């Protein structure tokens, strides 16, 4: 098919080297190679199949997200027989959090495989997690669920999933802080303003105000990151009081 040739021709590096390195990561020889090439093709390449459908990693990312969640859910179900639905859902969210997936993708240096017309330095942190999910999706479509499960155990569960540590892991300091403020009837407000400074990338600064007092400040490349960073600093300032929630 011409669209497969388009993907093959779009690679700026040698395909043999690509699949050799990929084999080291996934632990087996790829069967349907075009799927893995798609898993590392950014939408900026503007490649389409014979029907005009776009070819990039985003659809594989969708599949990978579902399969990854399924494998983790089954593992937790067997590993923690006393956990109810709420507990299992929270624990799964911790394992497949965006922060954790970004670290996994970064550890495997998946961004090195990406074909894009956008400089890699312009990508945000989420590219690493997106590529990891796309790779999981590619493995599933290429080799099926059992191979996918083995990969997730090898790269996610065995080296990174510890039930006791996960139980104490905070997914969102902002959510935790807001929950505490609402329970204790504390007023709170995030004051955000653009803070370009001397940085090339636009930054945002935030002041977290609780009961009319500034309790923390933070700065990051997005409003969400700045709020989370400020919330984390406030959490440690009020840790003893907040810990009573759980």
24 noted as active-site residue: no
Catalytic residue among 24, 49, 58, 65: 65
* HSE toward the beta carbon, residue 203, CA cutoff 13 A: 12
DSSP single-letter state for residue 225: H
Catalytic residue among 61, 133, 149, 227: 133
Contacts of residue 104, defined as CB under 8 A and 6 or more positions apart, other chains included, come to 128, 129, 132, 155, 156, 160
* HSE toward the beta carbon, residue 76, CA cutoff 13 A: 27
Residues 55 and 129: beta-carbon distance below 8 Å: no
CA distance 230 to 232: 5
What are the phi and psi torsion angles at 237 (to 5°)?
-75, -30
Distance of CA 132 to the CA centre of its chain: 8
Residues 204 and 222: beta-carbon distance below 8 Å: yes
199 noted as active-site residue: no
Our CA dihedral for 169, 171, 172, 173, rounded to 10 degrees, sits at 10
* Alpha-carbon distances of 194 from 125, 221, 226, 232, rounded to whole Å: 20, 10, 11, 20
Residues 138 and 36: beta-carbon distance below 8 Å: yes
* Residues with a known catalytic role: 65, 133
């Amino acid at each position: 098919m011409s669209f497969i040739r388009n993907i093959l021709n779009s690679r700026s590096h040698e395909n043999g080297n690509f699949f050799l390195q990929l084999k080291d990561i996934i632990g087996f020889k790829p069967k349907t190679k075009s799927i893995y090439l798609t898993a590392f093709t950014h939408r900026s390449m503007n490649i389409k199949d014979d029907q005009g459908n776009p070819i990039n990693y985003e659809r594989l990312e969708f599949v990978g997200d579902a399969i990854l969640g399924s494998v983790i859910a089954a593992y937790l179900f067997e590993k923690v027989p006393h956990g109810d639905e709420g507990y299992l859902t929270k624990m799964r969210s911790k394992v497949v959090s965006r922060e954790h997936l970004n670290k996994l993708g970064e550890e495997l240096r998946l961004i090195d495989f990406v074909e894009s017309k956008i400089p890699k330095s312009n990508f945000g942190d989420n590219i690493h997690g997106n590529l990891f999910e796309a790779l999981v999706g590619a493995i599933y479509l290429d080799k099926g669920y059992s191979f996918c499960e083995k990969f997730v155990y090898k790269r996610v569960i065995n080296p990174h999933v510890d039930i006791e540590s996960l139980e104490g892991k905070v997914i969102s300091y902002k959510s935790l802080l807001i929950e505490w403020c609402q329970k204790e009837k504390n007023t709170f407000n995030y004051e955000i303003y653009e803070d370009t400074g001397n940085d090339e990338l636009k930054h945002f600064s935030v002041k977290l105000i609780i009961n009319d007092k500034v309790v923390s400040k933070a700065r990051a490349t997005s409003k969400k990151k700045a709020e989370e960073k400020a919330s984390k600093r406030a959490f440690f300032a009020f840790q003893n009081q907040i810990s009573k929630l759980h």
